[in-house]
A and B are shown apart, each in its own frame.
Chain A
Amino acid sequence: MLQLSETQAAPVFMTANPYQPHMARIVRIYRMVEDNYVFTLRFLDDQLASAFSYRPGQFMMLSVPGAGEAPISISSSPSRPGILELCVRRVGRVTNALYRLPNNSVVGLRGPYGNGFPVETMTGNDLLIVAGGLGMAPLRSLMWYALDNRDDFRNVTLMYGVKSPAQMLFREELASLVGRDDMQCLLTVDSDPTGTWKHHIALLPKLFDYATITPATTYAAVCGPPVVYKFVLQRLLELGFSKDRILMSLERRMKCGVGKCNHCSVGYKLTCLHGPIFTYWDAINLPEMI
């Protein structure tokens, strides 16, 4: 049956087949933390590599030949085009296969998917980024976006906590931001078995004591394990944050990334289309959210 579709225009770098992975080369593997490597990727097609753009908070579907596909947040910032950085934790079939690949191997990528952070709306406001554990992976994109477009934002604050120094993602990079006068970078560990940690040793919510935050003009972006959400959200509400100024990034099982397979649904929304960034207001109004 012939039907006229009502397709909206998709970005130029997407082909007519939304499931089509585009081949990309692993140009660098940075063994950052055990079981948490950063893969720098560049599309083989030069035109695609330079035209490709995205928003902080969006994700890619990464294909490892023979193993399958997995959704991975983009950790790099669109303000630094040409390459993509994915920070991947080794957990299963696809991620293990990725870890076995040597430098210069070719993998598949499609995307970017998801809504990403509403950076236009956030412009002109203070930005508070709160990350726990692996939650730094998607938030790093937002952080560099804000620093590279520094005039678009007022105060920029990062609070990042992990269990021990060895688990901190992007440790050197973040440590180099401490003391910058155009942002406040607060890093903490629950405990420091090495005795060499130069930053805070406290639970993540404690960092709120060191920052001056004006909830009425701030957008808070939060990502981390459930316990982080529990205590950080509580803290933000106590400070007087409106529920739609709190943004969080969610993870669900995903098989398509484009709103077809229905695996990523939370309540009546799809994480891959309507998320993965949701406001706290969405979160409390959607069943199954947290």
Chain B
Amino acid sequence: MKVLRLPKERLDLFASVLQQFGEVHAPVEQNGKYAFRALSRWSDARLDYPRTILPPKKYFVPPKDTLFQYKEGLGYVPADLAADRRIILFGLHSCDIYGLNILDQVFSGKYDDPYYQARRKNVAIIGVDCIPDEHCFCHSMRADFVDKGFDLFFQDLGDRYLVMVGTALGDDMVLATGSLFEPVTPEDLAEYKQRSSAKRKAFKLHVEIRDLPEIFELEYDSSLWKQVGDRCLSCGACSMVCPTCYCFDVADDVDLGARSGSRSRTWDSCLFSTHAMVAGGENFREGRASRVKFRYYHKQRGFVAEYGRPSCVGCGRCISACPVNIDISQVISQLRGIENATA
């Protein structure tokens, strides 16, 4: 991989060059929380943010996504994807990039999802490194480091960045700046190694994922699920904020008085009581306990069976979003029989 350095005082210049590649979006602060937004000016970007409320999946699977327009005589006409604008998403943490790599697997395969894929091609990804807070456990989920899924990745080295170039598009961005980027020095590499081992030690939360699928099988009937289910409100917040939760509902809207309409998909949650309900009112996951269990089971067991790794990247969003403080890291540790998860 091509690796370069960028002195920090040149970042503003780089950002201005970036605009020729698309609309720049980055985390901005709003009332003490952070969200990915289109920037009106570069100085609004906060690259030292802990985590955004919503993960970047909103750019690829929007909360409401129109798939088709129905027109009599024409049938179902796919929504125009080419019209989407080009976006540069600046400031993704590695867990969120990993989350997108996981969504890539879901939305490809035997049936490619053209809506997702088109947006993925339209959005450039620039990563930045970060310092874990009390809810982060991405190192446990092996998502604290990504080797693909970004066009550029910025590692903070104090007064400069170490910049990894992941794609040809990333390389074009670098080249477009003329000589803004410099070759790395041995000191940069030494500094990078020193910082990355310091980061590894900074994690306060640890989750052991080895043999977790087996543990989930063995503890399928554990009384823990009822305890957690009794507290859960089925609000679905944990799914909405999760970078890898992708369940969706599909519904048709009819235009008033007209013989036309549209079909769209919206975010859904397996915690909602209707998620597994079928005709006649039969519900395969009637109780909250069974639904909470399903969310964990799917991420740590089902997804592993299908895609070879858990669909959790340890971003900690569901921990900070849950109104009743249900904490995935604790649930897993309790399931393992380890009382106190936080080391």
Contact = CB atoms under 8 A, between A and B. Distances in A.
Interface stretch (B294-302, B312-320, B327-335): B294-302
Interface stretch (A190-198, A200-208, A247-255): A247-255
B123 A1 contact: yes
Contacts of B125: 1
A10 B284 contact: no
A259 interface: yes
A265 B295 CA distance: 11
A115 to B, nearest CB: 12
Nearest to B306: A268
Nearest to B280: A91
A16 B113 CA distance: 8
Contact of B302 (A5, A20, A260, A265): A265
A262 B167 CA distance: 31
B111 A258 contact: yes
B70 A262 contact: no
Nearest to B304: A268
Contacts of B270: 262
B261 to A, nearest CB: 5
A75 B339 CA distance: 54
Contacts of A178: none
Interface in A1-55: 1-3, 5-8, 10, 16-23
A89 B280 CA distance: 11
A255 B124 contact: no
Contacts of B308: none
Contacts of B121: 1-3
Contact of B278 (A251, A267, A268): A251
Contacts of B298: 262, 265, 268
Contact of B249 (A20, A66, A255): A255
A237 interface: no
B318 to A, nearest CB: 16
Nearest to A266: B284
Given A91-B280, A108-B75, A260 B246 contact: yes
Contacts of A265: 294, 298, 302
Interface in B55-69: 67-68
Interface string B28-50: 00000000000000000000000
Interface string B275-308: 1111110001100001000100110011011100
Contacts of A251: 278
A261 interface: yes
A19 B78 CA distance: 9
Contacts of A17: 78, 114
Contacts of B261: 65-66
A166 to B, nearest CB: 19
A19 B67 contact: yes
B252 A288 contact: no
A18 B113 contact: yes
Contacts of B151: 1
Interface stretch (B102-110, B128-136, B139-147, B181-189): B102-110
A263 interface: yes
Contacts of A288: 284-285, 290, 294
B14 interface: no
B169 interface: yes
B75 A21 contact: yes
Interface-centre pick from A63, A67, A262, A266 (highest chain B CB count, 10 A): A262
Interface string B135-177: 0000000000000011100000000000000011100000000
Contacts of B67: 19
Nearest to A289: B284
B252 A67 contact: yes
Contacts of A66: 70, 252, 254, 259, 261
A85 interface: no
A108 to B, nearest CB: 6
A69 B250 contact: yes
13 contacts: A2-B169, A5-B117, A7-B109, A16-B114, A21-B76, A23-B75, A260-B246, A261-B250, A265-B294, A266-B284, A268-B302, A273-B110, A288-B290
Q: What are the 8 A-B residue pairs with the smallest beta carbon separation, nearest first?
A: A268-B302, A258-B111, A18-B111, A91-B279, A66-B254, A262-B247, A23-B75, A268-B305
Interface of A: 1-3, 5-8, 10, 16-23, 63, 65-69, 89, 91-92, 106, 108, 251-253, 255-256, 258-263, 265-270, 273, 287-288
